[in-house]
Chain A
Amino acid sequence: MIVVIANNYDETARALVARWAAYDARLFTCSDLSVCGWRCYLSDYKSSTVVIAGQEVAQEEISGVFTRMHGVYAEELVHIVPADRVYVAVEMTSFLLSWLSRLTCPVLNQPTSTCLSGPNWRQEQWMYAAAHVGIPVRPVRRRVALASRNVSEDESPMPGPFTVTIVGDRYFGSADEALTTQARRLADAANVDLLAVQFSGSEAGSFFVGANTWPDVTADEVADAVVDYLQRGRLR
Chain B
Amino acid sequence: MILLWGLSADTPLAAVRDALEQQGHPIAFIDQRTVLDTEVELGVGLSVEGRVRTRTQVIDLSTVTAAYLRFYSSQQLPVVERAGQGSDAWHHAADVDDAMMSWAELTPALVVNRPSAMASNDSKPYQAALIRSSGFAIPDTLITTDPNAASEFWVRHGTVIYKSISSIRSIVSRLTPEHMERLDNVTWCPTQFQQYIPGNDYRAHVVGEEVFACEVVSTADDYRYATRQGATVEIRPYTLPKRIADRCVALTTALKMKVVGIDLRCTPNGEWYCFEVNPSPAFTYYQNTTGLPIDEAIARLLAGASPV
A contact residues vs B (CB 8 Å cutoff): 33-43, 51, 79-80, 87-88, 90-95, 97-98, 101-102, 112-114, 122, 124-125, 127-128, 131-132, 137-146, 149, 151
Residue of A nearest to B186 (CB): A36
Distance of B55 from chain A, by nearest CB (Å): 12
* B126 contacts A101, C-beta separation under 8 Å: yes
From residue 121 to 174 of chain B, which have CB atoms closer than 8 A to chain A? 122-126, 128-129, 138, 140-147, 149, 164-166, 168-169
B contact residues vs A (CB 8 Å cutoff): 36-37, 39-46, 48, 88-89, 91-92, 95-96, 98-99, 102, 105-106, 115-116, 119-120, 122-126, 128-129, 138, 140-147, 149, 164-166, 168-169, 187-190
Interface of A is mostly: mixed
Which residues of the other chain, A, contact B36 by a CB distance below 8 angstroms?
146
Residue of A nearest to B129 (CB): A102
* B140 contacts A51, C-beta separation under 8 Å: no
* A122 contacts B188, C-beta separation under 8 Å: no
Which residues of the other chain, B, contact A144 by a CB distance below 8 angstroms?
39-41, 92, 95-96, 99
In whole angstroms, how far apart are the Cα atoms of A41 and B144 in the complex? Answer: 9
Which residues of the other chain, A, contact B105 by a CB distance below 8 angstroms?
122, 125
Q: Which of A51, A143, A144 has the most CB of B within 10 A?
A: A144
* A114 contacts B119, C-beta separation under 8 Å: yes
* A142 contacts B99, C-beta separation under 8 Å: yes
Residue of A nearest to B124 (CB): A94
Which residues of the other chain, A, contact B116 by a CB distance below 8 angstroms?
112-114
Partner of A35, one of B126, B145, B147: B145
* B168 contacts A39, C-beta separation under 8 Å: no
In whole angstroms, how far apart are the Cα atoms of A132 and B119 in the complex? Answer: 24
* B45 contacts A42, C-beta separation under 8 Å: no
* B146 contacts A143, C-beta separation under 8 Å: no
